[in-house]
Structure 1
């Protein structure tokens, strides 16, 4: 299996070690940086474990940190051979709607960096007002047309689904796909081409059923994988092969 999005640096050291032990047979795990300190933690984990890779970026809730010095630092880190993506970037109008302008500035810079280095972009999109960030993100995607990108923890919003399908996005599915009331998300998962499906955990967040309320970790990706296979009318091993191949195509592990 492959976990294409988690945050191992958000775990306590003992928790991280247990998570790595439980996922030792995975083909790859991508741990995601969100600010200057966490980018380095993610990269250190990738350097220490051959099946761990890193993404470096500035999360939209941290967009106010952007500066010429941070831009240079991100560029420097992104050149490391264990880095396989830029992000997560995007728009977050749930936690920090007041930083909208700063979020767009950070988003534009990270898009330019990804284009320059030939790396995929990982997008975080979250709203408090229903659909606001998703609609604006879709508009940004149509305007900027990133070469390769992932809609992380895809929530099924119609505007993002349409934009992703038109522009060739990869769609990352996490624990919410397994939640009983998420019928619309499961319906969206049926529309996406098989070669654009990714499995992720967002660990230690977004645990799948039957582990809601607990801390998530990469090995629990198997529940999301099994649910996705069921939705698409496939056996789990076949979906595992497809999503592993998709992760390789996207990130070049």
Structure 2
């Protein structure tokens, strides 16, 4: 089992220990940094835990922090042997629509860093309420820049972004939202992604799957998403587990 996107740095010591114990037999966990402090915390956890790896980056809601000093810091962190991706980067007009320009600068820098280090790029995207502006703009950015290796994390099912991601050979990672009863559009999208581009994640401690909504999420609960995905693709859960493990290994090159 592989959880390709979690935030272990959000967990307190006892909670972290319990989460890691519950996922002790996982093939890999990828814990995601989102700002300078969290990047270092993610790397600290990864360095001490054999089946945990890290991504370092600047979340779009933190994009105003970008500076020459931070660029140098991220470039240095990206050399760490346990770093397997850059991000999460992207566009978020839900929380920070006023920082659009800064978000694009941070996105462009992280895309360049990912390419220079030969690492995949992890995308976060969230539009303003009642809009799909961020998804449409990210689709346009992808068509223009064509990053060689990327994943759309916690994919939400946006049709244009799905089409562009498929055209460019991107990976699509599905989180607990795939299990939500009213998410038929997302489940339709999950049926369209080629089998060799499917990933599963928790985005823990956020996005808990059914039947754990309203509770704090953790990596071991990724099994609920995997089982839903297996049912959608008419596969046995064990076969889907093997498939998504192999896809994650191909993209992130866990040792």
TM-score under structure 2 length normalisation: 0.99
Aligned residues: 253
For residues 215-253 of structure 1, what are the alpha-carbon distances to aligned partners after superposition, in whole Å with 9 as ceiling and x for unaligned? Answer: 000000000000000000000000000000000000000
How far did 1:6 drift? 0.2
TM-superposed CA distance for 1:153, in Å, is: 0.2
Residue aligning to 1:183: 184
Match of 2:173 in 1: 172
Counterparts of 2:96 and 2:127 in 1: how far apart (Å)? 10
Q: Which residue of 2 aligns with 1:83?
A: 83
Cα distance in 2 for partners of 1:13, 1:118 equals 33
Q: What's the C-alpha RMSD, in Å, of the aligned pairs?
A: 0.4
Q: CA deviation at 1:114?
A: 0.4
> For residues 223 and 83 of structure 1, what CA distance do their matches in structure 2 show?
27
- Once the two structures are TM-superposed, the CA of residue 130 in structure 1 deviates from its matched residue by 1.9
Shift of 1:163: 0.7
**Counterpart in 1 of 2:251?**
250
Deviations 1:118-176 (A, max 9, x none): 00000000012421100000000000000000000000000110010000110000000
Greater Cα offset, 122-131 or 24-33? 122-131
Structure 1: give runs of 5+ residues left out of the alignment. Answer: none
Displacement after TM superposition at 1:21 (Å): 0.5
Q: Give me the whole-angstrom Cα distance separating, in 1, the residues matched to 2:87 and 2:13.
A: 23
Which residue of structure 1 lines up, in the alignment, with residue 27 of structure 2? 27
Distance in 2 (alpha carbons) for counterparts of 1:57 and 1:139: 21
* Aligned match of 2:214: 213
- Deviation, 1:13, is 1.1
Once residues 193 and 154 of structure 1 are traced to their aligned partners in structure 2, the CA distance between those partners, rounded to angstroms, is 14
Q: Report the counterpart of residue 162 of structure 2 in structure 1.
A: 161
| CA-CA distance at 1:54 after TM superposition | 0.2
**Which residue in 2 is equivalent to 1:67?**
67
Q: Secondary structure at the match of 1:69?
A: helix
Q: Secondary structure at the match of 1:110?
A: helix
Q: CA separation in 1, counterparts of 2:154 and 2:13?
A: 25
Mapped partners of 1:225, 1:190: distance in 2: 13
Q: How does 1:193-208 map to 2 (within 5 A)?
A: 193-208=194-209
Counterpart check, 1:228 vs 2:206:
no
* Higher alpha-carbon deviation: 83-92 or 126-135: 126-135
Distance in structure 1 (CA, Å) of the matches to 2:246 and 2:120: 16
3-state SS of the aligned residue for 2:30? Answer: strand
Runs of 5+ consecutive residues of structure 2 not aligned to the other structure: none
Aligned to 1:118: 118
